[in-house]
């Protein structure tokens, strides 16, 4: 995705669905001044993924720190 200039009036809405045999369920529906979103799959030891982000660099840095300090992810990494 191409970086875009920050506009103080711009907001983003991210809706994430869990897809299963029973259908789909919303797992996140949030609006904010910026976002970092990624999807991926590991197949044969290789990561395939997509990443998109928007908002000011400062906000994205704070979001990245919050993601990096997530307790669920930290538990996975510590258990390796």
pLDDT tens, 5-16?
Answer: 667 789 999 999
Q: Are 34 and 53 in contact (CB under 8 A)?
A: yes
User: What is the number of structural domains in the chain?
Assistant: 1
Q: Is 4 domain-assigned? A: no
Which range marks the domain in which residue 72 is found? 12-78
Domain-embedded: residue 5 = no
Residue 70 within a domain: yes
Task: State pLDDT tens for residues 13-33.
Answer: 999 999 999 999 999 999 999
d(CA 11, CA 23): 29
3 inside domain = no
Three-class SS of the chain: CCCCCCCCCCCEEEEEEEEECCEEEEEEEEEECCEEEEEEEEECCEEEEEEEEECCHHHHHHHHHHHHCCHHHHHHHHCC
Q: Does 21 reside within a domain?
A: yes
């Amino acid at each position: 995705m191409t970086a875009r200039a920050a506009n103080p009036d711009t907001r983003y809405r991210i809706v994430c669905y869990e897809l299963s045999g029973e259908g789909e369920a919303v797992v996140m529906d949030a609006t904010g001044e910026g976002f970092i979103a990624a999807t991926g799959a590991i197949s044969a030891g290789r990561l395939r993924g997509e990443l998109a982000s928007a908002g000011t660099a400062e906000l994205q840095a704070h979001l990245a720190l919050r993601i990096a300090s997530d307790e669920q992810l930290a538990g996975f990494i510590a258990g390796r």
